[in-house]
Amino acid sequence: MPTQRQRKERVYRLFTRIASAMANPHRLELLDLLVQAPRTVEELARESGMSIANTSQHLQRLKQARLVMAKREGLYMRYRLADPAVARLWLELRAVGEQQLDEVEQALDAYRTRRHEFEKVSIDELRDRLQAGKAVLLDVRPDEEYLAGHLPQALSIPLDELEQRLNELPRHRTIVAYCRGPLCVLADDALALLSKQGRKVARLEEGVSEWEQAGWALER
């Protein structure tokens, strides 16, 4: 018969299944991508720069910990987060890392080289500017992410289409771009292109998950 101590340790050991599944940078990136939209293994492999085989192995680890779930669609398996709580867990992990580890700021600066180049606006500032008609909100993520959920009033122009579609953006309002959150460079690249065209620009650091965690609804 297990002792009381052994029974208690088993409870803690079960929680380590979650921690162990998340203790890998590639699996965290996959979770971050799935926060944006459900995806097939092939789509996740392309976005993360991994092989399909490696991507599948990492997804299996996440599935075993019940952080993601999969549904067959014809020839493909489409993965999604198992519960909104998984997105909250990832955001909390990221927030604790940013707060406790000075190296995170240094790593972000090295990765997002334009991180401090453009004006940043908060969620509240963005809402005020949109209500006053002083800003246009631009979503530069891929189409499938926009369709899965986007900030209200956001225009969708994926980054790789932006240069050809500049005339769709008004010239006399600030263009506020956002993408997948603070670990994403898509909005930085969009703002660099827009500023070269003489547009007034700003960045919203938050993405769809942060928007929801702040208590605001997405449009789908």
Token output for 29: 């990136």
Q: Residue 2: what pLDDT?
A: 85
Q: Residue 71: what pLDDT?
A: 95
Count CA within 13 A, CB hemisphere, residue 57. Answer: 7
Residues facing 79 on adjacent strands: 39, 70
Domains recognised in the chain with CATH numbers: 4-88 (1.10.10.10), 114-213 (3.40.250.10)
| Catalytic status, residue 179 | yes
Determine which one of 179, 187, 190, 201 is catalytic. 179
Token output for 33: 């991508």
Measured in whole angstroms, the distance separating CA 8 from the mean position of its chain's CA atoms is 36
Q: Residue 5: what pLDDT?
A: 92
Q: Residue 150: what pLDDT?
A: 97
Q: What is the pLDDT of residues 58-111, one digit of tens each?
A: 999 999 999 999 999 888 999 999 999 999 999 999 999 999 999 999 999 999
- Confidence tier at 1 by pLDDT (50, 70, 90): confident
Q: What is the pLDDT of residues 189-203, one digit of tens each?
A: 999 999 999 999 999
CA dist 137 and 152 (Å) reads 9
Q: Residue range 27-37: average pLDDT? A: 98
Q: State pTM to two decimals.
A: 0.92
CA neighbor of 190 nearest in space, from 160, 169, 150: 160
Residues facing 139 on adjacent strands: 156, 178
Burial (0-12, 13-18, 19+ Cβ within 10 Å), 23: exposed
* Nearest-5° Cα angle at 85, 57 to 71: 45
